[in-house]
Structure 1
């Protein structure tokens, strides 16, 4: 997992060929006015703009998840937003089977920690990172890039 601000995004371009494209999308668009929903950017890269009310830690961790085929870059547009996190290697209580179609695996495990993103900060969540999001009070707007591995 990586947590940083958009000002430092260029430091991570070399980690995956589509990381630069994802951050370029942010710089080339008015992120405050992006429409909610899925935006196909290029092969192996899409953006999902999410707008919703924050939820409790207890409710959010019911969706404690990780992905096998995608890296998430989650960027706070309007927040703050709190995340739950735990390394996948420490998770031992699956919550159902892996969904290949949705590329998601859920766990019943308790998070090891919580962290918060402020506006214009991001988290890069790799397949090793089990996470739950949208924890907070009030309206949260974010963009989630799905970067195909």
Structure 2
């Protein structure tokens, strides 16, 4: 997992062949002007969400990770707290892996929580189990699904 500000996004371009294109888009686009919905950026699926934040307990019900994609989650507005645990420490899968949605849920609880402010991002690799959308008020974010190299 990586947490930083969009102003430093270019520093991560060497970590994955598509990170440069993702961060070029993120830093050259008026994210506040984006409408809720799905779009594609340089072959990567992208979704803009704007929803009311939930409690940590509610978010933990969808404690998730992905096998085939890396998430770059950018907070556009609001304040968002997320739960996190290394996948190697999760022992209680909740159902089967869904290959169509590239998601596996766990019944485990996050070992830690952190908070993002507008203009910050987190990169979740397949080994990062996460519980997003924790907060009070409306959270607007953009998620880029980067295919695992």
Q: Which category describes the TM-score, using the shorter chain as reference length? A: over 0.9
| Residue 106 (str. 1) matches residue 98 (str. 2) | no
Unaligned runs of 5+ residues in structure 1 are none
Q: Measure, in 2, the Cα distance between the counterparts of 1:20 and 1:27.
A: 10
Match for residue 128 of structure 2? 129
Unaligned runs of 5+ residues in structure 2 are none
| Residue 88 (str. 1) matches residue 87 (str. 2) | yes
Aligned residues: 148
Residues 9-62 of structure 1, C-alpha deviations (whole Å, 9 max, x = no match): 11100011111111111222210010111111122x121101000000000110
Q: Measure, in 2, the Cα distance between the counterparts of 1:23 and 1:35.
A: 19
Question: What secondary structure, in the 3-state scheme, does the structure 2 residue paired with 1:95 have?
Answer: strand
Q: Measure, in 2, the Cα distance between the counterparts of 1:122 and 1:101.
A: 25
Structure with the higher strand share, 1 or 2: 2
Match for residue 118 of structure 1? 117
TM-score normalised according to structure 2 size: 0.97
Q: Measure, in 2, the Cα distance between the counterparts of 1:29 and 1:115.
A: 26
Deviation at 1:138, TM superposition (A): 0.3
TM-score normalised according to structure 1 size: 0.97
What is the root-mean-square deviation in Å for CA atoms of aligned residues? Answer: 0.7
Match for residue 37 of structure 1? 37
Match for residue 23 of structure 1? 23
